[in-house]
Structure 1
């Protein structure tokens, strides 16, 4: 009996190998990301001109390895990581910590930077005023303004990449859909980004 079972096992194995590829069961493959980040500590030694570790916020900006097909100057916002990447030449990116939309306010898509403003004024939209009637109808630019020192406007939306008067919230999901940064980091990013730059938001 044991010999018969052993023979059957051999026959089954041979038959499985003989099957054409399309008839064999397929293994499920994991989704492949369109970029790979390598944030090894050695990179910081070679890219000091990018301001590695000089930001005073809760998440220091860093230059990281960034393998992708995105053109230099592209902004990648990863809401899950709560990080923003500015793609650089040579397979690197400058990575910043950001605050993102809270539950129900996160979104994804592709836009372009349509405007840049220094110390922008703030006019809360009607939807926000409906939720927060205590907010001012208009606030001039300044250190107390929630948009902070700089703002980059995304397409025709109400969303912006902007500074903040609450740097302790960077790395948290607290906004109404905008991406907030420390004033130091947003000023650094602002000086590197042109109007027309592509912004890819991954939710």
Structure 2
């Protein structure tokens, strides 16, 4: 075999062998990365997200209230929406909301606005402290307050419709029982609702 031919052949053998070695190394690394580690099991698959866009639409107050005396607020937990009607039917508002994390934290039924606070302070309930002992006992009004800029206190103890500085929560199951709105929306609702406004959570 001529010298030049041998050199070409040897070079080809080297390149092919090197490629095979690199390929087998990459495969081994891939297998190691995918191997099951009993100390670090794979994460549970996330449940499918239920889309609720079709449910986020205007509603009539009549199926839910006998009248609009003092105005009315309807919170639809499933569609994560809050509806407001003024007493004279001249104003209707529809806002996206956050809702409780789980069914055991969710309360449904009729109540009313019993107090309005601009710049609310916040303290966790006894049950919250049990679940989260690291939480502070009190947070004054301000950017760190989980109630945002305004709060409507309901007739049920510890339940409120309030704002939030964490806008990621809106449209999600993210609260410990309250209903959350964007700060600009709760400010608008705060100006419309009054003490005595009817509230229904469904």
| TM-score category, normalised to shorter length | 0.5 to 0.7
**Corresponding position of 1:30:** none
**Corresponding position of 2:85:** 87
**Corresponding position of 2:169:** 169
Higher strand share: 1
* Structure with larger Rg: 2
**Corresponding position of 2:72:** 74
Return structure 1 stretches of 4+ with deviation > 2 angstroms: 64-67, 69-72, 88-93
SS in 1 for 2:171: coil
Distance (Å, rounded) in 1 between the aligned partners of 2:98 and 2:160: 12
**Corresponding position of 2:7:** none
1:1-203 superposed matches below 5 A: 39=57, 64=58, 66=60, 68=62, 70=65, 71-72=67-68, 73-88=71-86, 89-90=88-89, 93-103=92-102, 104-202=104-202
SS in 1 for 2:168: helix
Higher helix share: 2
Distance (Å, rounded) in 2 between the aligned partners of 1:152 and 1:91: 21
Distance (Å, rounded) in 2 between the aligned partners of 1:68 and 1:177: 26
- 1:122-142 Cα offsets, whole Å, 9 max, x none, are 011111011011111001011
CA contact (8 A) 1:112 1:197 kept: yes
SS in 2 for 1:66: coil
- TM-superposed deviation, 1:93: 2.8
SS in 2 for 1:136: coil
* RMSD, aligned α-carbons: 2.1
CA contact (8 A) 2:61 2:85 kept: no
Distance (Å, rounded) in 1 between the aligned partners of 2:133 and 2:56: 45
Q: 1:190 to 1:136 in 2, by over 3 A?
A: same
- TM-score, normalised to structure 1, is 0.65
Structure 2 unaligned segments of length 5 or more: list them.
1-54
Aligned length: 142
Distance (Å, rounded) in 1 between the aligned partners of 2:91 and 2:120: 30
- TM-score, normalised to structure 2, is 0.65
- TM-superposed deviation, 1:144: 1.4
